[in-house]
Structure 1
């Protein structure tokens, strides 16, 4: 995998067509929001939010704030056009440089393989969440399907191999109480709660 600039350029080039080429099962998105146990008036962080694939289901939970962060300013531009709402805040930046804290929930949906430094990502998520807050790394497909889609040389430049949920969870278990692992051909989830300090 190359540096973050290549990741940004890759998604910038595809932002305008992304919603036409990338589809998500609404029932699975609902299931992910249910697993996260989102309650009304919470503050939700969507990391690598893209054009807002999770936004509809998250907004139906009536959050106080929904904050989306994505490396691609063009993805964020599309998301801004789709969700011009007062409780939706969008930032085009590297999540590792993001400074807001106090979130109840942090999602990383359909994006985890595009982070090369997962240890730094885990620490940043910990910083962003309040005590008792939950993170959710999730895909609405199985890892073999995801890895197969990332086989072309072009995509390999912006992706890493997705290990089993148990393997990937080792990083998260250093900082979180990981209590949900799902690794099926249809759904992939690692989730846990912030309970202690670094």
Structure 2
């Protein structure tokens, strides 16, 4: 799995991404509650794709949303959909771009298996967050469904998703995990930066 392959894979998926997205407001609201997204929050949306989550952040009163995606086509679509000065979309690798503004919340939604090193990503994202800021890794499906999903056409650009316990251990050097949910409908691990 390399970053160029991942970007190319999602460039190919981008035109149909929104049509294939299944959203549940109930799950998304649970995730955003865990993430601490509220009025005046600055949110970093990692692997933001086509910006599916942007309207949810803004509906909660986010002051600023920074969406980052390695896929140029995903980032292009995300930017074209949002005509709101509170939203900035960056095409780039979140592990490499410089941190220009500290955030209150960092959300990695439906994307974590596409990062090669969980440890490197979590460490890097800790630099984007204020003290007390929250990192949330979430998926709108169960761990088993997620693992099955990535065994298909995304196998070459994914690694097996960690369990909630394993991911909590990856968070531990930087974050106090207070949400670790892995049930039949969703997967959410979230913690506050020390």
TM over 0.5: yes
Q: Deviations over 1:9-56 (max 9, x none)?
A: 000011111001122212211121122222211211000000112111
Q: Deviations over 1:48-87 (max 9, x none)?
A: 0001121111110111110000000100111111112101
Aligned: 1:160 with 2:159: yes
Gaps of 5+ in 2: none
Superposition deviation, residue 185 in structure 1: 1.4
Q: Displacement of 1:113 after TM fit?
A: 0.5
Distance 1:84 1:59 in 2: 12
CA distance in 1, matches of 2:51, 2:26: 16
Quick one: distance in 1 between partners of 2:38 and 2:167?
27
Aligned to 2:177: 178
Which residue of structure 2 aligns with residue 6 of structure 1? 5
Alpha-carbon contact 1:7-1:114 (below 8 Å) kept: yes
> Which residue of the partner structure matches residue 131 of structure 2?
131
- TM-align CA RMSD: 1.0
Q: Please list, as runs of the form range in 1=range in 2, the aligned pairs for 1:69-88 lying within 5 A after superposition.
A: 69-88=68-87
Q: 1:120, 1:84 → 2: CA distance?
A: 33
Question: What are the Cα deviations for residues 103-149 of structure 1, in whole angstroms up to 9, with x where unaligned?
Answer: 00000000001111111101111000010100100011101001111
TM-score normalised by structure 1 residue count: 0.94
Deviates more, 1:6-15 or 1:17-26: 17-26
Query: Matches of 1:38 and 1:167 in 2, distance apart?
Result: 24
Is the contact made by 2:31 and 2:138 (CA closer than 8 Å) also made in structure 1? Answer: yes
Structure 1, 18-27 or 129-138: larger mean CA deviation: 18-27
> Following the alignment from structure 2 to structure 1, what is the Cα–Cα distance between the partners of residues 47 and 130?
20
- Could you list the structure 1 runs, at least 4 aligned residues long, displaced by more than 4 angstroms after superposition: none
